[in-house]
Amino acid sequence: MTTVLRTRAELAATLAPLPGSLAVVMTMGALHSGHEALLRTAREQADFVLATIFVNPLQFGPNEDFDRYPRTLDADLEVCRAAGVQYVFAPSREELYPDGEPMVRVDPGSLGEELEGASRPGFFDGVLTVVLKLLNLLRPDVAVFGEKDYQQLTLIRRMVRDLELDVEIVGVPTVREPDGLALSSRNRYLSAEERLSALRLSAALRAGATAAGAGRGADGALAAAYRAFGEGTTGAKLDYLVLTDPQLGPAPVTGPARMLAAAWVGGTRLIDNLPVELAPAARTTEE
């Protein structure tokens, strides 16, 4: 059975006597198989699972899709029930922000201004602020997040370390459609034609990862990814395409790295990323 909690009081009354460990999965609803993977991982991690459903106004810019973001609570509750989630916390805006917009917020630092943060000013301050509020309200043992939002996951891990938060953060690999498209609540904005263009994003990352694995170095990997994206030949427009180390610092010469990209497909902005292994350069001359 899934119990829906709407208020802090209901939350406190439920969580205080909880006879076991708690894992939380924070979401903005419109749940899909990517969220289901997070819920499954959460079930493996703790005795009780609580999912939050809250479209956080703080992380949306004035011209972004806060108003049209899909809100599908009944269907979401069905997903949670089927996944064996015991509790859903779905507060109103007033319940979570009783004083209106919070005056004190989490500063994500310089990484918060790069990549997603460069295109969405204030985004990570809004994300980290609501994540910290929810961690403080829920006091979970474990919180599970998706690698699909890799910069978000990296910054949440960093916040936990830098602010000494007592919670374990678990990341879950990106769940994809069979053709490679990363599942995202925003995919439902796409027309059939746009969905085809959106495939360029995962195709570019795969091409980059293959080139990296073949020893073509960071530059070769990026060049292969750009080529596979095919800017100008599809309806998609790249926002960024970068190769970094796993913590989003400068890319190493060899070893584990991450390739991240964002693109506009019509009016929809999508993100994706892949782990990349930079193999040593293939030998071209005999020694």
Ligand X SMILES: Nc1ncnc2c1ncn2[C@@H]1O[C@H](COP(=O)(O)OP(=O)(O)OP(=O)(O)O)[C@@H](O)[C@H]1O
- Residues 6 or more apart in contact with residue 66 via CB below 8 angstroms: 55, 57, 60
Q: Which amino acid is at 219?
A: D
Q: Report d(CA 129, CA 131) in Å as an integer.
A: 6
**CA separation, residue 4 to residues 25, 69, 142 (Å):** 14, 21, 20
130 binding partner (options ligand BAL, ligand PAF, ligand X, none; Cβ < 5 to 8 Å by kind): ligand PAF
Q: Is 231 annotated as a binding residue?
A: no
Give the nearer residue to ligand X in terms of CB position, either 23 or 28: 28
Set 35, 120, 200, 258: catalytic member: 35
- In whole angstroms, the minimum distance from the beta carbon of 208 to ligand PAF comes to 24
Nearest to 127 by CA among 58, 65, 202: 58
Told to judge if 204 belongs to the known catalytic residues of this protein, a careful annotator would answer: no
State the minimum distance, in angstroms, from the CB of residue 228 to ligand PAF.
27
User: Could you give the CA distance from residue 242 to residue 286 in angstroms, rounded to a whole number?
Assistant: 32
The entry of ligand PAF, ligand X, ligand BAL, none that residue 131 binds, CB within 5 to 8 Å by partner kind: ligand PAF
* Residues at the interface with ligand X (CB under 6 A): 27-28, 34-35, 37-38, 145-146, 148-149, 172, 174-175, 182-186
β-bridge mates for residue 116, sequence order: none
Nearest-approach distance from CB 152 to ligand PAF, in angstroms? 6
**Any binding-site annotation on 205?**
no
Instruction: Label residues 210-222 b or e (16+ Cβ within 10 Å = b).
Output: ebbeebbbbebbb
Judge whether 257 is annotated as a binding position. Answer: no
Q: Please say which residue, 131 or 225, places its beta carbon nearer to ligand PAF.
A: 131
Task: Provide the binding-site residues for ligand PAF, judged by CB under 6 A.
Answer: 26-28, 56, 59, 127, 130-131, 149, 152
Which DSSP category does 108 fall into?
-
- The residues annotated with a catalytic role in the active site are 35
